Amino acid sequence: MTGESGSDPGSGTRHAVVIGGSLAGLLAARVLAEHAERVTVVERDRYPEEVEQRAGVPQGRHLHVLLEGGRQALELLLPGVADELLAEGAPQLGMPEAVVQWQAGSWQRRMDAVVHILTPSRPLLERAVRRRVLADPRVTAVQATEAVGLAGDARRVRGVLVRERGAGRAAEPRLIPADLVVDASGRGSRAPLWLAELGAQPPREDVIDTGLAYATRVYRHDRHADDTDAAGYFVVPDPGRPYSGVALPTEDGRFLVTLSGLRGQEPPAEEEAFEEFAARLPHPVLRDWMAKAEPVSPVYGFRDTANVRRRYDLPGRRPAGFLATGDALCTFNPIYGQGMAVAALGAVALREALADRRRPPTTARVQRALLRASRQAWDISAGADKKMPGAVGSAARPGPLDRPLGWYMARVQRRVAVDPEVSAVFRPVLSLTRPLSALLAPRVARAVLLRPEPAVLDSPPLWRDAAGG
């Protein structure tokens, strides 16, 4: 494979260019600054000084969750950043204790927390990361500039073609030469097209699309604590009950409420109809909460939710000096809350691959390491979405192991609702701190396969004592 040859992405890299200055791009730049003399981040937007939304993050107004695996990875890259977020008001929630959750046909006991999540707004998290990364004098952000192509040939990428945003297509692009180019431009990446224009082979794409759409509105609920000691609510969809609803706190005393439905059953953007849509959930608890809360924003919709994995790791005619990371490499149905965690885990994988003294970090080897960092999140989100009615795409067809694994996982999820022993393994797996194989360990398998079906809660545990926790 062409990408195995040529100088590696670590040693001898004088200048690295990162396309995209959101979370994955900033964290990649943080790692590359340990190896390159200079790192340039090319960003289409102008960064705001304050905690503000920006157009280049289309999901920025929606709920974001930093899973524990992502938090741990972020701390390795930027020590102390989680404490900064907490000091800025980002909520920290212990799971399953903090949230009233309905999943797999039953309510979950609010047992002692086994993992924790952070729920900052996306602008707050990005600002914290951006301040840290751009404080490094080796990292420079070129703002209001869009990448329009790659320079080089099928053997090697040698730079990025850019144009000032708003200059128009007639404007001549300029070249930013680079020894290494990292595509972190997100799920709308045009790199496959650019590689084809160089005579290289674009990656195969694995796609699973349920047609899920979601809509979000910001609320305040000053009397929230009068109704429950839980921090929020989460109704998880499944094939028989495809509607989802979640209400979780963010900074400044606000709650983000997100409702979702599959293709043909999308939540509306009209404000009154948005709240009526919550009646489709299997229990009125979230709709009742919304009726008492104060809406403080319009309704914002989002529909681009397919799972897409670009297989740059597979053999093919691809150039050295080019890597993809973040959503440009592997993007997930956002309802599972994995994107920010995988961006951080990918940056840690990049660091480890570049620092590996046992093997030279060739382009192809580093790219495989980046894909491995996303594999567990893909297995979770793609595995769940394959089962959803109406799922389509090149990877939507169930494989030979999907049926027995699906049967086993259905038993796991029923047990998780009330069994602390299984919950203590299942939730770290979802949080990307333990491998999926942990669910097949003998102790867990015995609980799942040999114990009788557990009695489930038939009403939402609004108070922790009521959950038997």
C-alpha span between 458 and 47 (Å, rounded): 48
Q: Are 99 and 460 in contact (CB under 8 A)?
A: no
* Confidence band for 12, pLDDT divided at 50, 70 and 90: low
Mapped to the 3 state alphabet, what secondary structure does 360-429 carry?
A: CCCHHHHHHHHHHHHHHHHHHHHHHHHCCCCCECCCCCCCCCHHHHHHHHHHHHHHHCCCHHHHHHHHHH
Tell me, what's the pLDDT at 2? 37
Other CB atoms within a 10 A radius of the CB of residue 458 amount to: 7
Distance CA 159, CA 302 (A): 33
Q: What are 324-358's pLDDT values in tens digits?
A: 999 999 999 999 999 999 999 999 999 999 998 88
The yes-or-no verdict on residue 32 having pLDDT over 50 is yes
Cα-based distances in Å from 160 to 47, 146, 163, 324, 378: 21, 10, 10, 14, 29
447 vs 469, higher pLDDT: 447
Strand locations in 97-243 (E): 99-103, 106-107, 115-118, 139-142, 145-152, 157-164, 174-177, 180-183, 204-208, 213-220, 232-235
What is the Cα–Cα distance from 440 to 426, expressed in whole angstroms?
A: 10
> Each residue of 415-437: pLDDT tens digit?
999 999 999 999 999 999 999 99
Query: CA dihedral in degrees (456, 458, 460, 464; nearest 10)?
Result: -50
Nearest-angstrom CA–CA distance, 313 and 286: 43
**Greatest alpha-carbon span in the chain:** 70
pLDDT of residue 361: 87
Of residues 11 and 68, the one with the higher pLDDT is 68
Q: Rounded to an integer, what distance in angstroms lies between the CA atom of residue 27 and that of residue 57? A: 16
Q: Which of 8-22, 105-119, 185-199, 383-397 has the lowest mean pLDDT?
A: 8-22
The rounded Cα 324 to chain-centroid distance in angstroms is 15
d(CA 378, CA 342): 10
Residue whose C-alpha is closest to residue 346's, from 370, 367, 372: 370
Decide which of 74 and 105 is more confident: 74
**How many CA atoms lie less than 13 Å away from 207 in the CB half-sphere?**
13
pTM, two decimal places? 0.94
Across all residues in the chain, what is the average pLDDT? 93
Write the DSSP symbol of residue 173.
P
pLDDT score at 171: 82
Are the C-beta atoms of residues 165 and 144 closer than 8 Å to each other? yes
**Pairing state between β 300-302 and 213-220:** antiparallel
Q: How confident is the model at residue 317 (pLDDT cuts 50, 70, 90)?
A: very high
Spatial distance between the Cα atoms of 317 and 315, rounded to a whole number of angstroms? 7
Looking up tokens 């799972």 gives: 307
Reported residue count of the chain is 469
Complete domains list, the chain, with CATH = 2-64+126-208+305-383 (3.50.50.60), 211-302 (3.30.70.2450)
Contact 246, 216 (CB under 8 A): no
pLDDT at 44: 95
Phi and psi, residue 294, nearest 5°:
-105, 115
* pLDDT(104) > 90: no
From residue 90, give the alpha-carbon distance in Å to each of 84, 224, 411. Answer: 9, 18, 34
Q: Is it the case that residue 395 has pLDDT exceeding 80?
A: yes
